[in-house]
Chains A and B, each alone.
Chain A
Amino acid sequence: GQQLNQSPQSMFIQEGEDVSMNCTSSSIFNTWLWYKQDPGEGPVLLIALYKAGELTSNGRLTAQFGITRKDSFLNISASIPSDVGIYFCAGPPDSGGGADGLTFGKGTHLIIQP
Protein backbone atom coordinates (compact mmCIF):
# COMPACT_ATOMS: atom_id res chain seq x y z
CA GLY A 1 0.00 0.00 0.00
CA GLN A 2 0.92 3.65 -0.01
CA GLN A 3 3.50 4.81 2.50
CA LEU A 4 4.47 8.28 3.66
CA ASN A 5 7.98 8.99 4.86
CA GLN A 6 8.45 11.90 7.21
CA SER A 7 11.69 13.59 8.11
CA PRO A 8 13.21 14.36 10.40
CA GLN A 9 11.89 11.88 12.95
CA SER A 10 12.56 14.39 15.72
CA MET A 11 13.77 17.95 16.05
CA PHE A 12 15.29 19.74 19.02
CA ILE A 13 15.17 23.48 18.50
CA GLN A 14 15.38 26.72 20.45
CA GLU A 15 12.30 28.83 21.02
CA GLY A 16 12.01 31.44 18.30
CA GLU A 17 13.65 29.33 15.62
CA ASP A 18 11.98 28.43 12.36
CA VAL A 19 11.11 24.78 11.73
CA SER A 20 10.93 22.86 8.49
CA MET A 21 9.78 19.28 8.00
CA ASN A 22 8.77 17.25 5.00
CA CYS A 23 6.85 14.25 3.83
CA THR A 24 7.52 12.12 0.76
CA SER A 25 5.76 9.29 -0.98
CA SER A 26 6.65 6.84 -3.73
CA SER A 27 3.18 7.32 -5.21
CA ILE A 28 1.12 10.35 -6.13
CA PHE A 29 -1.24 11.95 -3.65
CA ASN A 30 -4.05 14.27 -4.70
CA THR A 31 -4.52 15.73 -1.25
CA TRP A 32 -2.00 16.43 1.48
CA LEU A 33 -3.00 17.04 5.08
CA TRP A 34 -0.90 18.13 8.04
CA TYR A 35 -1.98 17.26 11.58
CA LYS A 36 -0.58 18.01 15.04
CA GLN A 37 -1.02 15.62 17.94
CA ASP A 38 -0.48 16.59 21.57
CA PRO A 39 0.15 13.90 24.22
CA GLY A 40 -3.03 12.07 25.16
CA GLU A 41 -5.06 13.74 22.45
CA GLY A 42 -6.20 12.96 18.94
CA PRO A 43 -4.63 14.60 15.89
CA VAL A 44 -5.86 18.08 14.96
CA LEU A 45 -5.93 19.22 11.34
CA LEU A 46 -3.61 22.17 10.69
CA ILE A 47 -3.57 22.62 6.93
CA ALA A 48 -5.14 20.89 3.92
CA LEU A 49 -3.64 21.09 0.42
CA TYR A 50 -5.61 20.11 -2.68
CA LYS A 51 -3.58 21.23 -5.70
CA ALA A 52 -0.03 20.60 -6.87
CA GLY A 53 2.12 23.65 -6.20
CA GLU A 54 -0.35 25.07 -3.69
CA LEU A 55 1.12 27.10 -0.86
CA THR A 56 -1.16 27.64 2.12
CA SER A 57 -0.65 29.46 5.41
CA ASN A 58 -2.36 29.20 8.76
CA GLY A 59 -0.87 31.77 11.11
CA ARG A 60 2.80 30.91 11.62
CA LEU A 61 2.37 27.67 9.69
CA THR A 62 2.96 27.36 5.96
CA ALA A 63 2.59 24.18 3.93
CA GLN A 64 3.27 23.42 0.29
CA PHE A 65 1.97 20.71 -2.02
CA GLY A 66 4.94 19.57 -4.12
CA ILE A 67 4.80 19.91 -7.89
CA THR A 68 5.45 16.20 -8.38
CA ARG A 69 2.51 15.44 -6.02
CA LYS A 70 4.84 13.08 -4.19
CA ASP A 71 5.90 15.43 -1.44
CA SER A 72 4.82 18.18 0.90
CA PHE A 73 6.54 20.56 3.29
CA LEU A 74 5.46 22.18 6.54
CA ASN A 75 7.22 25.22 7.94
CA ILE A 76 6.67 26.83 11.33
CA SER A 77 8.05 30.30 11.86
CA ALA A 78 9.21 31.75 15.18
CA SER A 79 8.44 28.62 17.19
CA ILE A 80 6.85 28.92 20.63
CA PRO A 81 6.55 26.36 23.45
CA SER A 82 3.01 25.32 22.49
CA ASP A 83 4.29 24.15 19.10
CA VAL A 84 5.70 21.09 20.88
CA GLY A 85 4.05 17.91 19.69
CA ILE A 86 4.05 15.36 16.91
CA TYR A 87 3.33 16.53 13.37
CA PHE A 88 1.85 14.06 10.91
CA CYS A 89 1.36 14.28 7.20
CA ALA A 90 -1.51 12.30 5.75
CA GLY A 91 -3.27 11.66 2.50
CA PRO A 92 -6.12 9.64 1.03
CA PRO A 93 -5.59 6.61 -1.20
CA ASP A 94 -5.46 7.03 -4.99
CA SER A 95 -9.17 6.63 -5.37
CA GLY A 96 -9.91 8.69 -2.32
CA GLY A 97 -13.02 10.83 -2.49
CA GLY A 98 -13.37 11.57 1.17
CA ALA A 99 -15.00 8.31 2.15
CA ASP A 100 -11.77 6.43 2.56
CA GLY A 101 -9.31 6.22 5.38
CA LEU A 102 -6.18 8.32 5.38
CA THR A 103 -2.61 7.06 5.24
CA PHE A 104 -0.48 8.74 7.90
CA GLY A 105 3.28 9.15 8.14
CA LYS A 106 5.12 8.16 11.31
CA GLY A 107 5.38 11.74 12.45
CA THR A 108 7.99 14.37 13.26
CA HIS A 109 8.43 14.93 16.98
CA LEU A 110 9.11 18.61 17.69
CA ILE A 111 10.81 19.48 20.97
CA ILE A 112 11.47 23.09 21.87
CA GLN A 113 14.10 24.14 24.35
CA PRO A 114 13.36 27.47 26.05
Chain B
Amino acid sequence: GAGVSQSPRYKVAKRGQDVALRCDPISGHVSLFWYQQALGQGPEFLTYFQNEAQLDKSGLPSDRFFAERPEGSVSTLKIQRTQQEDSAVYLCASSPGVNYGYTFGSGTRLTVV
Protein backbone atom coordinates (compact mmCIF):
# COMPACT_ATOMS: atom_id res chain seq x y z
CA GLY B 1 0.00 0.00 0.00
CA ALA B 2 0.90 3.66 -0.13
CA GLY B 3 1.42 4.09 3.59
CA VAL B 4 2.36 2.25 6.75
CA SER B 5 -0.50 -0.04 7.75
CA GLN B 6 -1.08 -1.20 11.31
CA SER B 7 -3.55 -3.74 12.59
CA PRO B 8 -5.67 -4.01 14.53
CA ARG B 9 -6.59 -0.32 14.95
CA TYR B 10 -8.01 -1.05 18.40
CA LYS B 11 -7.37 -3.90 20.78
CA VAL B 12 -8.90 -4.53 24.18
CA ALA B 13 -7.09 -7.12 26.23
CA LYS B 14 -7.75 -8.56 29.65
CA ARG B 15 -4.88 -8.19 32.08
CA GLY B 16 -2.56 -11.14 31.69
CA GLN B 17 -3.50 -11.80 28.07
CA ASP B 18 -0.88 -11.90 25.31
CA VAL B 19 -1.31 -9.57 22.32
CA ALA B 20 0.32 -9.26 18.90
CA LEU B 21 0.35 -6.02 16.94
CA ARG B 22 1.15 -6.00 13.25
CA CYS B 23 2.92 -3.43 11.10
CA ASP B 24 3.10 -3.46 7.30
CA PRO B 25 5.73 -0.90 6.30
CA ILE B 26 5.92 0.88 2.99
CA SER B 27 7.21 -1.61 0.41
CA GLY B 28 10.98 -1.53 0.12
CA HIS B 29 11.57 0.47 3.28
CA VAL B 30 14.68 -0.77 5.03
CA SER B 31 14.18 0.83 8.43
CA LEU B 32 11.30 0.09 10.78
CA PHE B 33 10.63 1.62 14.20
CA TRP B 34 8.13 0.93 16.99
CA TYR B 35 7.05 3.66 19.39
CA GLN B 36 4.70 3.70 22.40
CA GLN B 37 2.53 6.76 22.98
CA ALA B 38 0.73 7.07 26.31
CA LEU B 39 -2.27 9.39 26.58
CA GLY B 40 -1.22 13.04 26.54
CA GLN B 41 2.43 12.22 25.88
CA GLY B 42 4.77 12.20 22.93
CA PRO B 43 5.80 8.92 21.31
CA GLU B 44 8.57 7.00 23.07
CA PHE B 45 11.03 4.85 21.15
CA LEU B 46 10.78 1.08 21.66
CA THR B 47 12.87 -0.67 19.04
CA TYR B 48 14.47 -0.37 15.58
CA PHE B 49 15.00 -2.83 12.71
CA GLN B 50 17.19 -2.52 9.67
CA ASN B 51 15.81 -5.15 7.31
CA GLU B 52 15.40 -8.25 9.48
CA ALA B 53 18.04 -7.27 12.01
CA GLN B 54 16.89 -5.75 15.29
CA LEU B 55 19.65 -3.22 15.85
CA ASP B 56 18.27 -1.42 18.88
CA LYS B 57 15.79 -2.66 21.47
CA SER B 58 16.86 -0.36 24.26
CA GLY B 59 13.41 1.21 24.56
CA LEU B 60 11.47 -1.98 25.26
CA PRO B 61 10.13 -1.45 28.80
CA SER B 62 10.38 -5.05 29.98
CA ASP B 63 11.08 -8.59 28.83
CA ARG B 64 7.34 -8.98 28.27
CA PHE B 65 7.82 -6.95 25.09
CA PHE B 66 9.19 -8.68 22.02
CA ALA B 67 9.42 -7.54 18.40
CA GLU B 68 10.36 -9.38 15.24
CA ARG B 69 10.69 -8.75 11.52
CA PRO B 70 11.74 -12.15 10.20
CA GLU B 71 11.72 -11.40 6.46
CA GLY B 72 12.63 -7.76 6.59
CA SER B 73 9.16 -6.47 5.77
CA VAL B 74 6.17 -7.07 8.09
CA SER B 75 6.91 -6.64 11.78
CA THR B 76 5.05 -7.87 14.86
CA LEU B 77 5.22 -6.39 18.34
CA LYS B 78 4.20 -8.92 20.95
CA ILE B 79 3.34 -8.13 24.54
CA GLN B 80 3.05 -11.02 26.95
CA ARG B 81 0.99 -11.01 30.14
CA THR B 82 -0.34 -7.52 29.48
CA GLN B 83 -0.60 -5.07 32.38
CA GLN B 84 -2.74 -1.95 32.72
CA GLU B 85 0.32 0.26 32.28
CA ASP B 86 0.75 -1.21 28.79
CA SER B 87 -2.37 0.69 27.67
CA ALA B 88 -1.19 3.10 24.98
CA VAL B 89 -1.10 3.71 21.26
CA TYR B 90 1.63 1.68 19.56
CA LEU B 91 3.00 3.42 16.49
CA CYS B 92 5.06 1.87 13.73
CA ALA B 93 7.18 3.92 11.31
CA SER B 94 9.30 3.02 8.30
CA SER B 95 11.84 4.80 6.13
CA PRO B 96 13.70 3.96 2.93
CA GLY B 97 17.11 4.31 4.54
CA VAL B 98 18.88 5.30 7.67
CA ASN B 99 17.41 8.76 8.11
CA TYR B 100 14.75 10.59 10.04
CA GLY B 101 12.33 11.16 7.21
CA TYR B 102 10.15 8.28 8.20
CA THR B 103 6.42 7.71 7.79
CA PHE B 104 4.27 6.74 10.75
CA GLY B 105 1.28 4.44 10.65
CA SER B 106 -2.00 5.37 12.36
CA GLY B 107 -1.20 3.18 15.33
CA THR B 108 -2.89 0.47 17.36
CA ARG B 109 -4.69 1.66 20.47
CA LEU B 110 -4.26 -1.01 23.16
CA THR B 111 -6.48 -0.92 26.22
CA VAL B 112 -5.78 -3.39 28.99
CA VAL B 113 -8.72 -3.95 31.35
Q: A-side interface residues toward B, CB under 8 Å?
A: 4, 31, 33, 40-45, 48, 88, 90, 92, 97-107
Residue contact A41 to B106, C-beta cutoff 8 Å: yes
Q: Of all chain A residues, which has the CB nearest B43?
A: A104
Total interface residues in chain B, CB < 8 Å: 31
B27 vs chain A, min Cβ distance (A): 18
Contacts A/B (CB < 8 Å), 15 sampled:
A31-B100, A41-B106, A42-B104, A45-B101, A48-B101, A98-B97, A99-B48, A99-B50, A99-B55, A99-B56, A100-B45, A100-B56, A102-B43, A103-B45, A104-B43
Report chain B residues within 8 Å CB of A33.
100
Dominant secondary structure of chain A at its interface with chain B = loop
Residue contact A101 to B56, C-beta cutoff 8 Å: yes
Q: Of all chain B residues, which has the CB nearest A97?
A: B98
Report chain B residues within 8 Å CB of A97.
98
**Interface flags, B97-112, vs A, CB<8A=1, else 0:** 1111111111100000
Within the assembled complex, what's the spacing in Å between the Cα atoms of A102 and B31?
Answer: 13
B44 at the interface (CB under 8 A from A): yes
